[in-house]
Chains A and B, each alone.
Chain A
Amino acid sequence: MTTKSPLVFSILTECGTSKARVSRMILPHGPVDLPVFMPVGTQGTLKGMLPEQLEELGLQIMLANTYHLGTKPGTEILQKAGGLHKFMNWNGCLLTDSGGFQMVSLLKLAEITEDGVRFQSLNDQKAEVMLTPEHSIEIQNAIGADIIMQLDDVVKTTNPDKERIEESVYRTTRWLDRCLKAHQNPDTQNIFPIVQGTLYEDLREKSAKDHIERDVRGFAIGGLSGGESKDDFWKMVHLSTNILPKNKPRYLMGVGFAEDLVVCCALGVDMFDCVFPTRTARFGCALTRKGQLNLKKEQFKKDFRPIDENCPCNTCKNYTRAYLSGIVTVLPVACHLLTEHNIVFQMNLMKDIRQSITKGKFPDFVRDFMLQVYPTKNYPSWIIDSLSAVNIKLK
């Protein structure tokens, strides 16, 4: 039995201008410097990267998906292995999702009831699968991640039916309580609730305030980054971080494009996850501060520069765009090389964000960053508005 809390959070520096802050979170498998971007290692592996390589890069935390792992290898094997950390030889921190979102995207949704979410499998037998809050926590307990997510009643932001959304807000809180009750490892795994409410301010506020009353060590902001307009998106993030307590980490789910990360850090978010960097690597795209490079294009065939001259990663140290252009989407190893670059890109971005906050220069960093992305200063209005809301003016 450990007497230390499984999540110790401390704010190190606050940006004097915006809501950004640098903090540190200590979890059972180690410390995490915040704000952090967590890459997604869906099936217990990160697109061909060895855990040894990830450790060397300084990666502290990654995601794994409960639905996939619950199906294969399944809870029994995970339990026999002693948990996912041991199974995949990853000594850093892990976060698992509840399985709900994956199931919505991968299976045919049959019905949501108070009991749980019922799905129809897409195989020939059309077997029905039920995911309840208890079952989700059971799988996540077997996986053994440092942070685990409640099962939530997710509704698309494009759904206008306020009654349905209100139902989902109250149900999400009831499901949170069921998750907390079913949780077998409260001393080694932290359940994070998920704030819902789509684009309704009053419902978001209700959801957040209800969750705050529970004994939890961090909060997730859910239901965004899925089809809503960016103008609505930032306002909901801003509202959520205003209500959620400052002394606990805030995790914005599914956000990963560079400019979104910068803006949301300014709005006070501490943790992010997204499949984008690793997924786009598979399609031959490399990330830079100025935008994506689609390396399959003709223009790179004789370009003997690295992806990014300022990037310290192995891919940029040893390979040219010309060479990568010839192997992306052809050799499996190319995916590995681009994944490494894209992960280092995301990590360097977060490191620069943290360092600029620590030095009291975050607003300058934001301005310089946005200028790199939009050299002609044609900033989208949502970026101008969101930054303005936290006192950062783009010239």
Chain B
Amino acid sequence: MKFYVEPLSKCTQRLGSLSEIESKPTVNIKTPAVMLHTQGGQIPHITHEVFKLVSRKSQILQIPLAGMHTFKEAMQYYEGTISSFIGSKDSLSCLTLQDPCNITKQGHHSTLKVPIWTKNGKVYYDAKSYMDVVESFKPDIYFLLSDGDTNISSSEKRIAKSVSNTMNFYKECLDRHRKSDALKHSFVIAPIVGGYKQISRERYISFILEDMKNVDGFLIDGLHNNGPEAEFLEFNEIEPIVRCILNKIPTEKLRVVQGCWNPVNIINLVELGIDLFDTSYCHILTERSAAMTFAIEITDQTNTYEINLRDSKYVDDFQPVLIGCECLSCTKYSRAYIHHLLSVHELLGPILVMIHNVYHYLRFFEKIRSCIQNNTLQTLQLSITEQFRNHQKTK
């Protein structure tokens, strides 16, 4: 798999592509792009077949190990890749550690090990046991093991520990990767840790720059502890540390962030030069019965940023969730019906909300790419920011 991107400046919006994938030579994923967040190998509420009603384009599935622990043993015996095991052999798989939708519990640290939070509690992985899993999963893309348990309030001691642990993981995982036949076509992403302390980040980056062979991209890790609260992170708090990192890493490699970033922060991060995100934001919205209705084009007929379909005012509202949206939920179903499904706790309710949210989010990213192409990203940024601020005022 190769990543091509332009322009090669340090902190600027850019257009790229992931292509020349050995097992899927016709696939071409344009960046900035979004990985499809999954739990247990499934997009929440949407089977892989139903997803084809949302989009027929090739996708990258973000597969957190946290939700896959139950399959660890089965995968040792299974002869195919993780993509085919979870029922989506035509998708690219990206193995990551924690689930961005769930708050990663802090603490529980152990030297040279990372606690992965599964549904049955914590399971510790060290470099070896992690790479054993990676080899059995055979993902198209994967993140090296990292200790990214830091946020804006982390102590110096915690940051130092996360850096020293991750330095060890980096060396051992890469060593193992280089010896592995199963992973020879896998795209490797190196997490960068160091909390919000510039010196720590720089120290970590210098360390990994000494040995960059086989590393295809970077994850800016350690900015938050996952979960729905990531939606409310203030960009002015994270911008300095993100800039610092982007100034130091090679520009031609892929840059990834994970988490439930709100659309305003997404554009801000795209402006700095981030290439890859995930759809965890869609899931947390669906979990609270909310549908995204912010305008992407000027012509979109909407005056709300998001609507909560549990609200009783929708009981007899036979309009679609978003007028003009061409997703399945908006072309075939009404707010009243979705409201009914949610109020009687039927499975189809979250399905229809999620179909809309993922469709809307994918359309948002398409718009981002076309704005970069036409040099109009700032206009989009102003529009989204204004809608977001208005929404916050009414809450």
Contacts and interface: CB of A to CB of B under 8 A. Distances in A.
Interface of A: 43-45, 47-50, 52-53, 68, 72-73, 76-77, 80-81, 87-89, 301-302, 304, 314, 318-320, 322-323, 326-327, 330-337
A252 B346 CA distance: 27
17 contacts: A44-B337, A45-B341, A45-B348, A47-B347, A50-B348, A81-B334, A81-B336, A88-B337, A318-B88, A319-B87, A322-B74, A322-B78, A323-B71, A327-B41, A327-B42, A332-B44, A334-B42
Interface in B34-48: 39-48
B340 A72 contact: yes
B85 A43 contact: no
Contacts of A76: 316
Nearest to B78: A304
A68 B351 contact: no
B344 A43 contact: yes
Contacts of A304: 77-78
B73 to A, nearest CB: 7
B378 interface: no
B332 A301 contact: no
Interface residues of B, number: 42
- State the 10 A-B residue pairs at the shortest beta-carbon distance, nearest first: A48-B347, A318-B87, A45-B348, A333-B42, A326-B70, A319-B87, A73-B340, A322-B74, A43-B344, A89-B332
Nearest to B345: A43
B77 A53 contact: no
B233 interface: no
Contact of A332 (B50, B328, B350): B350
A320 B85 contact: yes
B40 A327 contact: yes
A330 B40 contact: yes
Nearest to B346: A45
Contact of A52 (B39, B48, B328, B337): B328
A50 B318 contact: no
Given A327-B41, A333-B44, A301 B343 contact: no
B86 interface: yes
B42 A331 contact: yes
Nearest to A47: B347
A337 B87 CA distance: 11
Contact of B344 (A68, A318, A336): A68
Contacts of B119: 330
A301 B85 CA distance: 13
Contacts of B318: 80-81
Contacts of B346: 43-45, 47-48
B336 A73 contact: yes
B34 to A, nearest CB: 20
Contacts of B341: 43-45
Contacts of B49: 53, 314, 318
Interface in B324-360: 328, 332-334, 336-337, 340-341, 343-344, 346-348, 350-351
A73 B42 contact: no
Interface string B105-122: 000000000000001000
Contacts of B46: 333
A320 B75 CA distance: 12
Nearest to B341: A45
A72 B344 contact: yes
B344 to A, nearest CB: 5
Contacts of A319: 87
Contacts of A323: 41, 71, 74, 85-87
Contacts of A335: 347
B315 interface: yes
B340 A77 contact: yes
Nearest to B89: A318
Given A53-B49, A323-B87, A331-B42, 12 more contacts: A44-B340, A50-B348, A73-B336, A81-B318, A88-B337, A89-B332, A314-B47, A323-B41, A326-B70, A326-B74, A327-B42, A333-B45
B336 A331 contact: no
B53 interface: yes
B348 A48 contact: yes
Contacts of B348: 45, 48-50
Contact of A53 (B50, B73, B86, B315): B50
A50 B50 contact: yes
Given A50-B50, A89-B332, A301 B74 contact: yes
B244 to A, nearest CB: 39
A302 B50 contact: no
A304 B85 CA distance: 9
A333 B38 CA distance: 11
Contact of A72 (B43, B44, B78, B343): B343
A44 to B, nearest CB: 7
A49 B46 CA distance: 10
Contacts of B73: 301-302
Residue of B42, B88, B334 with highest tally of chain A CB at under 10 A: B42
Contact of A50 (B41, B77, B334, B351): B351
A302 B74 contact: yes
A48 B74 contact: no
A335 B50 CA distance: 14
